[in-house]
Amino acid sequence: MPPMTSFPGSPTMLAPDRPPPLAGYKLQQPTESDAVAALHRVFGAERAAERWGTACRAAGLVPGMVFGAPQLEQVVKALSAQGGATATVARSIEIRMRTYARLASQATLMAGGQR
Amino acid sequence: MIPDPLFDEQRLQEIHDLDLLSSDVDPILQDVAAEAASRLGLPVSLISVVLDEALHVAGMHGPEGLWLAETRGHPVEWSFCATSVRTRDAFVVENAETHPDHHDNPLVTQDGVRCYAGVPLISSRGFVLGNLCVVGLEQRSFSEADVAVLRELADEAVRRIEARRVA
Protein backbone atom coordinates (compact mmCIF):
# COMPACT_ATOMS: atom_id res chain seq x y z
CA MET A 1 0.00 0.00 0.00
CA PRO A 2 1.34 3.48 -0.79
CA PRO A 3 2.10 5.80 2.12
CA MET A 4 -0.84 7.72 3.50
CA THR A 5 -0.91 11.17 5.00
CA SER A 6 -3.68 12.00 7.42
CA PHE A 7 -4.35 15.07 9.47
CA PRO A 8 -6.96 15.48 12.20
CA GLY A 9 -10.07 17.08 10.78
CA SER A 10 -9.00 16.76 7.18
CA PRO A 11 -9.99 14.20 4.57
CA THR A 12 -7.79 11.13 4.42
CA MET A 13 -6.81 10.19 0.92
CA LEU A 14 -4.68 7.43 -0.45
CA ALA A 15 -1.68 8.92 -2.19
CA PRO A 16 -1.55 7.89 -5.82
CA ASP A 17 1.11 5.35 -6.73
CA ARG A 18 4.47 6.97 -7.24
CA PRO A 19 6.89 5.81 -9.91
CA PRO A 20 9.43 3.15 -8.98
CA PRO A 21 12.77 4.44 -7.63
CA LEU A 22 15.29 5.60 -10.21
CA ALA A 23 17.42 2.65 -11.27
CA GLY A 24 20.98 2.94 -10.02
CA TYR A 25 20.25 5.93 -7.82
CA LYS A 26 17.49 4.16 -5.85
CA LEU A 27 15.84 7.56 -5.37
CA GLN A 28 12.08 7.84 -4.82
CA GLN A 29 10.04 10.75 -6.11
CA PRO A 30 9.30 12.90 -3.03
CA THR A 31 5.67 13.01 -1.87
CA GLU A 32 3.65 14.90 0.71
CA SER A 33 4.24 12.05 3.17
CA ASP A 34 8.00 12.44 2.80
CA ALA A 35 7.79 16.20 3.37
CA VAL A 36 5.65 15.80 6.49
CA ALA A 37 8.00 13.10 7.79
CA ALA A 38 10.96 15.45 7.30
CA LEU A 39 9.23 18.19 9.31
CA HIS A 40 8.29 15.64 11.96
CA ARG A 41 11.93 14.59 12.45
CA VAL A 42 12.95 18.18 13.23
CA PHE A 43 9.91 19.69 14.94
CA GLY A 44 7.93 16.74 16.34
CA ALA A 45 4.41 15.77 15.29
CA GLU A 46 2.41 18.73 16.54
CA ARG A 47 4.67 21.55 15.29
CA ALA A 48 5.24 19.71 12.00
CA ALA A 49 1.49 19.42 11.35
CA GLU A 50 1.01 23.10 12.23
CA ARG A 51 3.76 24.21 9.83
CA TRP A 52 2.57 21.93 7.03
CA GLY A 53 -1.07 23.00 7.48
CA THR A 54 -0.11 26.68 7.33
CA ALA A 55 1.95 26.12 4.18
CA CYS A 56 -0.82 24.13 2.48
CA ARG A 57 -3.39 26.81 3.21
CA ALA A 58 -1.01 29.53 1.94
CA ALA A 59 -0.70 27.52 -1.28
CA GLY A 60 -4.48 27.12 -1.53
CA LEU A 61 -4.31 23.38 -0.88
CA VAL A 62 -5.59 20.98 1.76
CA PRO A 63 -3.21 19.06 4.06
CA GLY A 64 -3.31 15.38 3.17
CA MET A 65 -4.40 16.13 -0.40
CA VAL A 66 -1.20 17.42 -1.98
CA PHE A 67 -0.64 15.31 -5.07
CA GLY A 68 2.10 15.43 -7.67
CA ALA A 69 5.28 17.44 -8.00
CA PRO A 70 3.70 20.78 -9.04
CA GLN A 71 1.43 20.90 -5.96
CA LEU A 72 4.20 19.74 -3.65
CA GLU A 73 6.44 22.43 -5.11
CA GLN A 74 3.83 25.11 -4.30
CA VAL A 75 3.56 23.98 -0.68
CA VAL A 76 7.34 23.75 -0.27
CA LYS A 77 7.61 27.33 -1.55
CA ALA A 78 5.08 28.42 1.08
CA LEU A 79 6.96 26.42 3.70
CA SER A 80 10.15 28.24 2.78
CA ALA A 81 8.41 31.59 3.31
CA GLN A 82 7.91 30.68 6.99
CA GLY A 83 11.65 31.27 7.46
CA GLY A 84 14.03 29.93 10.11
CA ALA A 85 14.66 26.21 10.46
CA THR A 86 11.41 25.58 8.55
CA ALA A 87 12.93 27.23 5.48
CA THR A 88 15.99 24.99 5.85
CA VAL A 89 13.80 21.87 5.87
CA ALA A 90 11.94 23.28 2.85
CA ARG A 91 15.24 23.65 0.98
CA SER A 92 16.02 20.00 1.77
CA ILE A 93 12.75 18.85 0.23
CA GLU A 94 13.30 21.13 -2.77
CA ILE A 95 16.77 19.66 -3.39
CA ARG A 96 15.38 16.12 -3.24
CA MET A 97 12.66 17.09 -5.74
CA ARG A 98 15.15 18.77 -8.08
CA THR A 99 17.57 15.86 -7.89
CA TYR A 100 14.81 13.38 -8.66
CA ALA A 101 13.55 15.46 -11.61
CA ARG A 102 17.07 15.97 -13.02
CA LEU A 103 18.11 12.33 -12.77
CA ALA A 104 14.72 11.05 -14.00
CA SER A 105 15.09 13.29 -17.04
CA GLN A 106 18.61 11.96 -17.62
CA ALA A 107 17.35 8.36 -17.34
CA THR A 108 14.59 9.07 -19.86
CA LEU A 109 17.08 10.58 -22.31
CA MET A 110 19.41 7.60 -21.94
CA ALA A 111 16.55 5.13 -22.41
CA GLY A 112 15.53 7.00 -25.57
CA GLY A 113 19.07 6.85 -26.89
CA GLN A 114 19.22 3.09 -26.42
CA ARG A 115 16.10 2.40 -28.54
CA MET B 1 20.03 7.74 22.74
CA ILE B 2 22.04 10.72 21.47
CA PRO B 3 19.98 12.85 19.07
CA ASP B 4 21.27 13.01 15.50
CA PRO B 5 22.75 16.50 14.94
CA LEU B 6 21.50 16.38 11.35
CA PHE B 7 17.98 17.06 12.66
CA ASP B 8 18.93 19.59 15.34
CA GLU B 9 16.50 22.50 14.97
CA GLN B 10 19.02 25.02 16.31
CA ARG B 11 21.65 23.91 13.78
CA LEU B 12 19.12 24.27 10.96
CA GLN B 13 18.14 27.70 12.30
CA GLU B 14 21.83 28.72 12.29
CA ILE B 15 22.13 27.68 8.63
CA HIS B 16 19.17 29.90 7.80
CA ASP B 17 20.44 32.80 9.89
CA LEU B 18 23.79 32.71 8.08
CA ASP B 19 22.00 33.01 4.74
CA LEU B 20 23.52 29.78 3.48
CA LEU B 21 20.49 28.75 1.44
CA SER B 22 20.70 31.56 -1.07
CA SER B 23 20.15 30.54 -4.66
CA ASP B 24 22.99 32.87 -5.63
CA VAL B 25 26.39 31.25 -5.53
CA ASP B 26 28.75 33.22 -3.32
CA PRO B 27 31.84 34.14 -5.41
CA ILE B 28 34.05 34.17 -2.33
CA LEU B 29 33.05 30.61 -1.46
CA GLN B 30 33.61 29.66 -5.10
CA ASP B 31 37.15 31.01 -4.78
CA VAL B 32 37.81 29.02 -1.61
CA ALA B 33 36.54 25.85 -3.35
CA ALA B 34 38.72 26.54 -6.38
CA GLU B 35 41.80 27.01 -4.20
CA ALA B 36 41.12 23.75 -2.34
CA ALA B 37 40.83 21.83 -5.62
CA SER B 38 43.97 23.43 -6.96
CA ARG B 39 46.11 22.88 -3.86
CA LEU B 40 45.08 19.25 -3.52
CA GLY B 41 45.18 18.59 -7.26
CA LEU B 42 41.63 17.25 -7.55
CA PRO B 43 38.91 18.12 -10.08
CA VAL B 44 36.03 18.93 -7.71
CA SER B 45 35.70 20.88 -4.49
CA LEU B 46 32.56 21.87 -2.60
CA ILE B 47 31.55 24.17 0.18
CA SER B 48 28.67 22.01 1.34
CA VAL B 49 25.90 22.82 3.76
CA VAL B 50 24.46 19.68 5.29
CA LEU B 51 20.73 20.08 5.84
CA ASP B 52 18.40 17.55 7.47
CA GLU B 53 17.54 15.60 4.32
CA ALA B 54 19.88 16.98 1.68
CA LEU B 55 23.27 18.47 1.01
CA HIS B 56 23.15 22.03 -0.34
CA VAL B 57 26.04 23.34 -2.43
CA ALA B 58 26.99 26.87 -1.32
CA GLY B 59 30.19 26.99 -3.35
CA MET B 60 31.63 24.70 -5.98
CA HIS B 61 34.56 24.21 -8.28
CA GLY B 62 34.37 21.52 -10.93
CA PRO B 63 34.16 20.67 -14.59
CA GLU B 64 31.26 21.84 -16.76
CA GLY B 65 28.27 19.56 -17.14
CA LEU B 66 28.00 18.07 -13.64
CA TRP B 67 24.34 17.54 -12.72
CA LEU B 68 25.26 18.70 -9.21
CA ALA B 69 25.83 22.18 -10.60
CA GLU B 70 22.20 22.24 -11.77
CA THR B 71 20.53 20.76 -8.70
CA ARG B 72 22.88 22.57 -6.26
CA GLY B 73 22.60 19.57 -3.97
CA HIS B 74 21.69 15.92 -3.50
CA PRO B 75 19.95 13.65 -0.94
CA VAL B 76 21.76 13.55 2.38
CA GLU B 77 22.02 9.76 2.40
CA TRP B 78 24.53 10.04 -0.46
CA SER B 79 26.55 12.64 1.38
CA PHE B 80 30.12 11.96 2.47
CA CYS B 81 29.97 15.33 4.26
CA ALA B 82 27.23 14.25 6.71
CA THR B 83 29.82 12.17 8.58
CA SER B 84 31.65 15.31 9.74
CA VAL B 85 28.41 16.82 11.04
CA ARG B 86 28.13 13.82 13.34
CA THR B 87 31.81 13.46 14.31
CA ARG B 88 32.84 17.14 14.12
CA ASP B 89 36.11 15.94 12.57
CA ALA B 90 37.74 15.43 9.16
CA PHE B 91 36.57 12.51 7.04
CA VAL B 92 38.75 10.89 4.41
CA VAL B 93 37.88 8.16 1.90
CA GLU B 94 40.84 6.97 -0.16
CA ASN B 95 39.01 4.25 -2.09
CA ALA B 96 35.24 4.66 -2.13
CA GLU B 97 34.69 1.38 -3.97
CA THR B 98 35.83 -0.57 -0.92
CA HIS B 99 34.61 1.79 1.80
CA PRO B 100 32.08 0.06 4.06
CA ASP B 101 29.68 3.02 4.13
CA HIS B 102 30.05 4.25 0.56
CA HIS B 103 30.79 1.33 -1.78
CA ASP B 104 27.13 1.26 -2.84
CA ASN B 105 26.62 5.05 -2.74
CA PRO B 106 25.12 6.14 -6.11
CA LEU B 107 27.73 8.91 -6.35
CA VAL B 108 30.28 6.07 -6.43
CA THR B 109 28.38 3.46 -8.48
CA GLN B 110 26.79 5.89 -10.97
CA ASP B 111 28.97 9.00 -11.00
CA GLY B 112 32.41 7.54 -10.46
CA VAL B 113 33.48 9.20 -7.20
CA ARG B 114 36.53 7.35 -5.90
CA CYS B 115 38.14 9.56 -3.27
CA TYR B 116 37.02 12.24 -0.83
CA ALA B 117 38.49 14.41 1.90
CA GLY B 118 36.45 16.90 3.90
CA VAL B 119 36.72 18.99 7.04
CA PRO B 120 33.83 20.49 9.01
CA LEU B 121 32.77 24.13 8.81
CA ILE B 122 32.01 24.98 12.43
CA SER B 123 30.32 28.27 13.25
CA SER B 124 31.43 30.41 16.20
CA ARG B 125 28.25 29.28 17.95
CA GLY B 126 29.53 25.71 17.71
CA PHE B 127 27.26 24.29 15.01
CA VAL B 128 28.65 22.15 12.19
CA LEU B 129 27.23 23.78 9.08
CA GLY B 130 28.74 21.52 6.46
CA ASN B 131 32.13 20.81 4.98
CA LEU B 132 34.87 22.03 2.76
CA CYS B 133 35.71 18.97 0.70
CA VAL B 134 37.56 17.76 -2.36
CA VAL B 135 36.44 14.89 -4.57
CA GLY B 136 38.27 12.84 -7.19
CA LEU B 137 37.50 10.18 -9.74
CA GLU B 138 40.55 8.04 -8.94
CA GLN B 139 41.54 6.52 -5.62
CA ARG B 140 44.34 8.32 -3.81
CA SER B 141 45.79 8.79 -0.37
CA PHE B 142 45.58 11.99 1.66
CA SER B 143 48.34 13.16 4.01
CA GLU B 144 47.98 15.09 7.24
CA ALA B 145 49.32 18.08 5.32
CA ASP B 146 46.44 17.75 2.82
CA VAL B 147 43.91 17.79 5.65
CA ALA B 148 45.71 20.77 7.21
CA VAL B 149 45.30 22.70 3.94
CA LEU B 150 41.57 21.96 4.00
CA ARG B 151 41.31 23.06 7.64
CA GLU B 152 43.04 26.35 6.85
CA LEU B 153 40.71 27.03 3.94
CA ALA B 154 37.65 25.93 5.94
CA ASP B 155 38.53 28.49 8.63
CA GLU B 156 38.68 31.12 5.90
CA ALA B 157 35.29 30.02 4.53
CA VAL B 158 33.67 30.25 7.99
CA ARG B 159 35.16 33.74 8.49
CA ARG B 160 33.66 34.83 5.17
CA ILE B 161 30.29 33.26 5.98
CA GLU B 162 30.10 34.81 9.44
CA ALA B 163 31.10 38.24 8.13
CA ARG B 164 27.75 38.23 6.34
CA ARG B 165 25.91 37.79 9.66
CA VAL B 166 27.50 40.99 10.95
CA ALA B 167 26.92 42.87 7.69
ipTM higher than 0.90? yes
- State yes or no: pLDDT of B101 exceeds 90: yes
Is A25–B106 a contact, with Cβ atoms under 8 angstroms apart? Answer: yes
CB-CB: which of B12, B74, B109 is closest to A88?
B12
Q: What chain B residue is nearest to A98 in terms of C-alpha separation?
A: B71
Radius of gyration of chain A (CA): 15
Tell me the residue type at B54.
Answer: A
Tens digits of residue pLDDT in A51-67: 999 999 999 999 999 99
The mean pLDDT value for B81-88 works out to: 97
Lowest mean pLDDT among A22-26, B45-49, B163-167: B163-167
Q: What residues in chain B have their Cβ under 8 A from chain A's Cβ atoms?
A: 7, 9-10, 12-13, 15-16, 21, 51-56, 67, 70-76, 106, 109-110
pLDDT for A114: 60
- State yes or no: pLDDT of A17 exceeds 80: no
Residues of A in contact with B7 (CB under 8 A): 41-42
| Terminal-residue alpha carbon distance, chain B | 39
Task: Give which of A27, A88, A94 to mutate to test B binding, by max B Cβ within 10 Å.
Answer: A88
- Give exposure, B57-83, as e/b (b: 16+ Cβ within 10 Å): bbbbbbeeeeebeebbbbbbebbbbbb
The C-alpha of B113 sits at a distance from chain A's nearest C-alpha, in angstroms, of 14
Radius of gyration of chain B (CA): 15
Distance between CA atoms of B11 and B51, rounded to whole angstroms?
Answer: 9
Is A87–B16 a contact, with Cβ atoms under 8 angstroms apart? Answer: yes
- State yes or no: pLDDT of A10 exceeds 70: no
Residues of B in contact with A83 (CB under 8 A): 16
Distance between CA atoms of A90 and A54, rounded to whole angstroms?
Answer: 13
Distance between CA atoms of B111 and A106, rounded to whole angstroms?
Answer: 13
Distance between CA atoms of B162 and B167, rounded to whole angstroms?
Answer: 9
> How many CB atoms sit inside 10 A of residue A77's CB?
14
The mean pLDDT value for A19-29 works out to: 92
The C-alpha of B86 sits at a distance from chain A's nearest C-alpha, in angstroms, of 16
DSSP B46: E
Kindly indicate the confidence band of residue A8, based on its pLDDT and cuts at 50, 70 and 90: very low
pLDDT for B166: 53
Tens digits of residue pLDDT in B110-160: 999 999 999 999 999 999 999 999 999 999 999 999 999 999 999 999 999
Residues of A in contact with B106 (CB under 8 A): 24-27
Mapped onto helix, strand or coil, the DSSP state of residue A85 is helix
Chain mean pLDDT for chain A: 87
- State yes or no: pLDDT of A78 exceeds 80: yes
pLDDT for A14: 52
Nearest alpha carbon to residue A58 among A42, A84, A82: A82
Question: Which runs of E-coded beta strand occur in chain B?
Answer: 44-50, 54-61, 73-75, 91-93, 115-122, 128-136
Kindly indicate the confidence band of residue A115, based on its pLDDT and cuts at 50, 70 and 90: low
pLDDT for A11: 44
pLDDT for B139: 97
